[in-house]
Amino acid sequence: MSRIQAPPDEAQGNLTDRLLAGLPAEAVLIDPDVTASYANDMASFCPSGAPAVVVLPRTVEQVQHVMRTATELRVPVVPQGARTGLSGAANASEGCIVLSLTKMDRILEINPVDRIAVVEPGVINAALSRAVNEHGLYYPPDPSSWEMCTIGGNIGTASGGLCCVKYGVTAEYVLGLDVVLADGRLMSTGRRTAKGVAGYDMTRLFVGSEGSLGIVVRAVLALKPQPPQQLVLAAEFASAAAACDAVCRIMKTEGRGALPQKGGGGRRAGGHVPSLLELMDRTTVKAVNDLAHMGLPETTEALLLVAFDTPDPAADLAAVGALCEAAGATQVVPADDAAESEMLLQGRRLSLTALEAVKGTTMIDDVCVPRSRLGEMLDGIEQIAGKYQLTIGVCAHAGDGNTHPTVCFDAGDADESRRARESFDEIMALGLRLGGTITGEHGVGVLKKEWLAREIGPVGVEMQRAVKQVFDPLGILNPGKLF
Amino acid sequence: MSRIQAPPDEAQGNLTDRLLAGLPAEAVLIDPDVTASYANDMASFCPSGAPAVVVLPRTVEQVQHVMRTATELRVPVVPQGARTGLSGAANASEGCIVLSLTKMDRILEINPVDRIAVVEPGVINAALSRAVNEHGLYYPPDPSSWEMCTIGGNIGTASGGLCCVKYGVTAEYVLGLDVVLADGRLMSTGRRTAKGVAGYDMTRLFVGSEGSLGIVVRAVLALKPQPPQQLVLAAEFASAAAACDAVCRIMKTEGRGALPQKGGGGRRAGGHVPSLLELMDRTTVKAVNDLAHMGLPETTEALLLVAFDTPDPAADLAAVGALCEAAGATQVVPADDAAESEMLLQGRRLSLTALEAVKGTTMIDDVCVPRSRLGEMLDGIEQIAGKYQLTIGVCAHAGDGNTHPTVCFDAGDADESRRARESFDEIMALGLRLGGTITGEHGVGVLKKEWLAREIGPVGVEMQRAVKQVFDPLGILNPGKLF
């Protein structure tokens, strides 16, 4: 297309010609200005290279052609969705084929009896969510980027979201996959039935594998009936510790001694199942107010947001409100309706954007600890922020113990950038000490690959590398990621 | 111990001596009368060999010693739980070490804030269920054998049960594992947090791997808050087709046009989430009556059992009862309380035992189809029973589309046995034609290994074998199973 602008060398020409043998011209981009725009996802501090070519296949056969070509020419392939990832897993490596699945964006089937959808990988999360809603169905996984991110990307990173405390992560909704292997062969995994145990669970092996084992070209997804509209409560606390105590009181189950209260739908002293349980610290609250003038309470040290999508959410919120007060909440504000609920969530949804505005750049961490250790985690993050003299805002999927400590810094300030990077590492070390993981839902990518080995140990790394070798003996699938 | 009774040959002596170097004498059984009793699980038509030795370790180190010994001497190892499996996956191979995990039966931790339990593999399912109930927690997976079977066995076969239509299978409750590899090294997988995506999902690879990849010695399990007591409804139908139509009406979600009814806790026309949705055909009902004189309605062609553990189960049952009537139910009987509910379930729980009493022997199949194809599946099974002149009783986890067609035959009648075997294969072929799987929850083992290849295809088999090779390069882990 743009050979005059950027004459490819012989290898590039060979690669492009071979790709064009099985792809239409408009699906093969080689203009360096264009291909450069595919080099990165949304992570900070993750190096990337210049792609040799970007391909945009529309069919499974075209993906197979790309992989056969890559295998023959030994060219690395970096699969991409909407590049909203936060770990550099979709970053291009030098001279690679970027394989963008965004044009394979058809919803192939929605079945309200079997409660499944069959989709291509480029379907936008929000598009699927809306389409299944029309059938009274619900696709829970809701990463912040849900209006942009693709189902294929969600599968690659095993994405989470606000819904996870009740509904779990993407992995729990993937029943079966069609995958193009490194050599271009097609493999089907899993099933379209509610249950199935025929052989090893290869489906789950691909979920979260960050494009390093094969290219997902079709997915069978499990759906749930659409729940009632959720209702939200906001609770303010004078300390992060008190807010974390409230989280524990809400989630803790009680033994036989503590009978459920009569009426109110079987609610009990604890052991609730909220549809959302989020925390914002003072730094985050202030950042949101500065950005969007939302009038959130800036004197509070921590704001909890709790929601229920149960048959009687008001009664559940009343019970949880009482638990928040017992934990020392200074104010508890239940929403009266869906509109008020949405307003309360708006602030949470803006958190990362707002924190980015504080100093221009952020490093967003994703450490998940057992929820019983959440208080220690927040306390430790505050100490790390003090030690490195940094602004670190914390928003958290508190019900899951999944924190997103977000280091706000000026990328033009070399010393502050160094401190940001060091504090980031220290936060991960803290998470591991508390029995947690370095990544709850964002993945390893480039950003955390040194840390993966610290978490899973040498035997774990050896076995994971050996599995990678099975699927990608030439090492052409998203090289330099994960390990 | 019993060397006088059964003098081991040199190899046997060498193996036994080596095992005794790291295991106490009472943990090493070599009396052939004793070891022979460990040769089989509960599957019919599955060959087994005579174990050389049965070991009963109590610690992780002892398991490591067994695996190191097996690797050095190239002796196959067959891991076993309670041997209640139905696919021959725990059957001994000739000259193997049977590695029984039944003595590693400690519950190490129950945490009501993090909602997890940490257990050894030999813990009995019912023992765990009762222990967590004391903390207001619920471990859902409930295979029929739950009073006998072990958590390790449940993990090995990815067991299901009656709860799955709402709560899913064992796989969904396994967060992390400690696994002794074939060479005796210890590997930890997964996490103890609610979420985590650090590297490939090795945990799920082990769940359902039937002991062919490593020995699970510890598991971190996810728990749920104990739901309210479920209430059961029984509905009688004049045809299996009508009962299957009712299943579809209950499970089918409705679009925006069909608003939830006001009141009654957000219940709607369809899209219900029952905690149990079971089907028994006339053959099964009659067998249960013959065995236990339960007075179930023998004139009915199909009996559906539906339960809810929601805040207001009576209202949910009323809505579902109306759907059953719309599908042609001849009678709908909701239970008034927990005791009546338990009576209704009793018949279902006795089904397999009752069918076994019909002709002395049964082959229990485990074909799962999309629930929208359940009617075709039952119709096809009836035709197969007619063609082979066999009694085939069907009980099914209807909400999951998971059928257990159970061929009743006289094992002393060679012709009937042959027809039983042929009909069994034909039922699996039918399941695959309907978009189903050859095994919803019982596993592949020895019984279905020829069928696994038909389901997952040559590429699938090749990649699964390659994964097996990574973990078990010498082929000593449960050889002859799965592939």
Assigned domain for A292 exists: yes
The verdict on B284 and B331 lying in the same domain is yes
Closest CA to B174 of B202, B143, B196, B207: B207
**φ, ψ for residue A142 (rounded to 5)?**
-140, 65
CA distance B154 to A199: 15
Reduced to 3 states (helix: H, G, I; strand: E, B; else coil), residue B407 is strand
Amino acid sitting at position B109: E
| A198 and B CB contact within 8 Å | yes
The answer to whether the Cβ–Cβ distance between B444 and A260 falls below 8 Å is no
The verdict on B93 and B152 lying in the same domain is no
Nearest beta carbon to residue B440 from set A196, A256, A401 = A196
The answer to whether the Cβ–Cβ distance between B187 and A258 falls below 8 Å is no
Task: Output the 3-class SS for A55-107.
Answer: ECCCCHHHHHHHHHHHHHHCCCEEEECCCCCCCCCCCCCCCCEEEECCCCCCE
Q: What share of chain B is helix, strand, coil (3-state, %, to 5)?
A: 40, 20, 40
Q: What is the pLDDT at residue B9?
A: 64
Residue of B nearest to A470 (CA): B466
Q: Which residue, among A155, A197, A250, A365, would best test binding to B if mutated, counting the most B CBs under 10 Å from its CB?
A: A197
Reduced to 3 states (helix: H, G, I; strand: E, B; else coil), residue B62 is helix
How many other β-carbons are positioned within 10 Å of the β-carbon of residue B161?
22
- Quote the tokens at residue B49: 């060999």
| B112 and A CB contact within 8 Å | yes
Nearest beta carbon to residue A371 from set B114, B201, B436 = B114
The verdict on A120 and A15 lying in the same domain is no
Q: Residue A370 in contact with residue B192, Cβ under 8 Å?
A: yes
DSSP of A162-186 = TTHHHH--GGGGEEEEEEE-TTS-E
CA distance A118 to A221: 6
- Quote the tokens at residue B322: 């109306």
Reduced to 3 states (helix: H, G, I; strand: E, B; else coil), residue A430 is helix
Residues ≥6 apart with Cβ < 8 Å to B315: B264, B265, B267
The verdict on A186 and A259 lying in the same domain is no
Q: What is the pLDDT at residue B3?
A: 36
- Quote the tokens at residue B427: 């039922």
CA distance A132 to A381: 40
Domain C-terminal end among A44, A72, A100: A100
How many other β-carbons are positioned within 10 Å of the β-carbon of residue A94?
13
Assigned domain for B168 exists: yes
The verdict on B118 and B211 lying in the same domain is yes
For residues B316-340, average pLDDT: 95
Counted residue by residue, chain B has a size of: 483
The answer to whether the Cβ–Cβ distance between A444 and B199 falls below 8 Å is yes
Assigned domain for A354 exists: no
- Distance between A126 CA and the closest CA of chain B, angstroms: 17
Question: pLDDT tens across B24-59, in order?
Answer: 999 999 999 999 999 999 998 899 999 999 999 999
Which residue's entry shows tokens 């009501």?
Answer: B112
Q: Which residue, among B186, B197, B201, would best test binding to A if mutated, counting the most A CBs under 10 Å from its CB?
A: B197
Nearest beta carbon to residue A225 from set B137, B273, B368 = B273
Give the up-direction half-sphere exposure of residue B9: CA atoms within 13 A in the CB hemisphere.
3
Closest CA to B42 of B153, B126, B140, B174: B153
In Å, how far are A58, A70, A73, A92 from A478, measured between CA atoms? 20, 12, 15, 8
CA distance B214 to B194: 24
Give the up-direction half-sphere exposure of residue B191: CA atoms within 13 A in the CB hemisphere.
31
Q: What is the pLDDT at residue B264?
A: 38
| A376 and B CB contact within 8 Å | no
Question: pLDDT tens across A158-178, in order?
Answer: 999 899 999 999 999 999 999
Assigned domain for B450 exists: no
Amino acid sitting at position A392: I
B68 has a pLDDT exceeding 70: yes
Q: Kindly tell me the sign of the dihedral angle through the C-alpha atoms of A305, A309, A310, A315.
A: positive
Domain C-terminal end among B48, B77, B100: B100
For residues B283-295, average pLDDT: 93
Q: Residue B132 in contact with residue B142, Cβ under 8 Å?
A: no
Domain harbouring A69, CATH code: 3.30.43.10
Question: pLDDT tens across A211-223, in order?
Answer: 999 999 999 999 9
Closest CA to B102 of B127, B80, B124, B122: B122
**% residues pLDDT > 70 (chain A):** 95
The verdict on A72 and A170 lying in the same domain is no
- Quote the tokens at residue A425: 């590492």
Q: How confident is the model at residue B270 (pLDDT cuts 50, 70, 90)?
A: confident
Assigned domain for B274 exists: yes
The residues with which A126 forms a beta bridge, in sequence order, are none
Q: How confident is the model at residue B4 (pLDDT cuts 50, 70, 90)?
A: very low
Question: pLDDT tens across A362-420, in order?
Answer: 999 999 999 999 999 999 999 999 999 999 999 999 999 999 999 999 999 999 999 99
- Quote the tokens at residue A112: 């309200």
CA distance B395 to B278: 7
The verdict on B214 and B304 lying in the same domain is no
Which residue's entry shows tokens 């599995």?
Answer: A467
Closest CA to A349 of A477, A232, A479, A436: A232
The verdict on B70 and B208 lying in the same domain is no
The answer to whether the Cβ–Cβ distance between B197 and A402 falls below 8 Å is no
Question: Residues of B with CB below 8 A from A272's CB?
Answer: 225
A264 has a pLDDT exceeding 80: no
For residues A43-67, average pLDDT: 96
Q: Which residue, among B253, B312, B366, B456, would best test binding to A if mutated, counting the most A CBs under 10 Å from its CB?
A: B253
**% residues pLDDT > 90 (chain B):** 89
The answer to whether the Cβ–Cβ distance between A225 and B253 falls below 8 Å is yes
A265 has a pLDDT exceeding 70: no
- Quote the tokens at residue B99: 């590695």
The answer to whether the Cβ–Cβ distance between B368 and A193 falls below 8 Å is yes
Q: Residue A88 in contact with residue A41, Cβ under 8 Å?
A: yes
Give the up-direction half-sphere exposure of residue A383: CA atoms within 13 A in the CB hemisphere.
9
Q: Kindly tell me the sign of the dihedral angle through the C-alpha atoms of A250, A255, A257, A262.
A: positive
- Chain B, 253 to 312: residues with Cβ < 8 Å from chain A are 253-256, 258, 260, 265-268, 270-273, 310-312
Nearest beta carbon to residue A195 from set B112, B251, B440 = B440
Q: What share of chain A is helix, strand, coil (3-state, %, to 5)?
A: 40, 20, 40
CA distance B112 to B224: 9
A379-A383-A385-A387 Cα dihedral, nearest 10 degrees:
-170
Domain harbouring A193, CATH code: 3.30.465.10
Q: What is the pLDDT at residue A260?
A: 45
The verdict on B65 and B111 lying in the same domain is no
In Å, how far are A289, A292, B113, B404 from A295, measured between CA atoms? 6, 9, 33, 59
**Surface-to-core class of residue B281, CB atoms within 10 Å of its CB (0-12 exposed, 13-18 middle, 19+ buried):** buried
For residues B398-404, average pLDDT: 97
Q: Which residue, among B67, B195, B316, would best test binding to A if mutated, counting the most A CBs under 10 Å from its CB?
A: B195
The answer to whether the Cβ–Cβ distance between A194 and B471 falls below 8 Å is no
Domain C-terminal end among A166, A192, A225: A225
| B431 and A CB contact within 8 Å | no
CA distance A370 to B367: 38
The answer to whether the Cβ–Cβ distance between B372 and A113 falls below 8 Å is yes
CA distance B459 to A443: 28
Assigned domain for B445 exists: no
Q: Residue A179 in contact with residue A215, Cβ under 8 Å?
A: yes
- Chain B, 64 to 93: residues with Cβ < 8 Å from chain A are none
Strand blocks (E) in A214-308 = 215-222, 224-225, 231-237, 276-281, 302-308
Q: Residue A371 in contact with residue B113, Cβ under 8 Å?
A: yes
The answer to whether the Cβ–Cβ distance between A133 and B251 falls below 8 Å is no
**φ, ψ for residue A363 (rounded to 5)?**
-115, 120
Assigned domain for A431 exists: no
Question: pLDDT tens across A309-347, in order?
Answer: 999 999 999 999 999 999 999 999 999 899 989 988 988
Residue of A nearest to B205 (CA): A201
* Rg from Cα positions in chain B: 23
The verdict on A164 and A243 lying in the same domain is no
Residues ≥6 apart with Cβ < 8 Å to A339: none
Q: What is the pLDDT at residue B13?
A: 78
A336-375 exposure pattern, b = at least 16 Cβ within 10 A, e = fewer: eeeeebeebbebbebbbebbbbbbebbbbbbbbbbbbbbb
Which residue's entry shows tokens 């986890």?
Answer: B397
Residues ≥6 apart with Cβ < 8 Å to B450: none
Q: What is the pLDDT at residue A259?
A: 47
Reduced to 3 states (helix: H, G, I; strand: E, B; else coil), residue B99 is strand
Reduced to 3 states (helix: H, G, I; strand: E, B; else coil), residue B420 is helix
Question: Residues of B with CB below 8 A from A460's CB?
Answer: 187-189, 199, 202
- Distance between B251 CA and the closest CA of chain A, angstroms: 6
Helices B351-359, B338-349: axis angle to 10 degrees equals: 30
Domain harbouring B237, CATH code: 3.40.462.10
Q: What is the mean pLDDT of chain A?
A: 93
Question: pLDDT tens across B211-264, in order?
Answer: 999 999 999 999 999 999 999 999 999 999 999 999 999 999 988 655 444 333
- Distance between A250 CA and the closest CA of chain B, angstroms: 9
The verdict on B221 and B244 lying in the same domain is no
Assigned domain for A249 exists: yes
CA distance A414 to A299: 32
CA distance B313 to A265: 10
Domain harbouring A279, CATH code: 3.30.70.2190
How many other β-carbons are positioned within 10 Å of the β-carbon of residue B360?
12
A210 has a pLDDT exceeding 80: yes
In Å, how far are B116, B236, B282, B382 from B375, measured between CA atoms? 39, 16, 15, 11
Q: How confident is the model at residue A13 (pLDDT cuts 50, 70, 90)?
A: confident
Question: Residues of B with CB below 8 A from A469's CB?
Answer: 470
Q: Which residue, among A135, A164, A200, A449, would best test binding to B if mutated, counting the most B CBs under 10 Å from its CB?
A: A200
Question: Residues of A with CB below 8 A from B448's CB?
Answer: 198
**φ, ψ for residue A319 (rounded to 5)?**
-65, -40
Range of the domain at A170: 107-225
Q: Kindly tell me the sign of the dihedral angle through the C-alpha atoms of B255, B256, B262, B264.
A: positive
Question: Residues of A with CB below 8 A from B202's CB?
Answer: 460, 463-464, 467
Q: What is the pLDDT at residue B387?
A: 98
For residues B171-191, average pLDDT: 98
- Distance between A68 CA and the closest CA of chain B, angstroms: 16
A6 has a pLDDT exceeding 70: no
Q: What is the pLDDT at residue A212?
A: 98
The verdict on B387 and B304 lying in the same domain is yes
Question: pLDDT tens across A432-455, in order?
Answer: 999 999 999 999 999 999 999 999
Domains held by chain B: number: 3
Q: What is the pLDDT at residue A178?
A: 98
Q: What is the pLDDT at residue A173?
A: 98
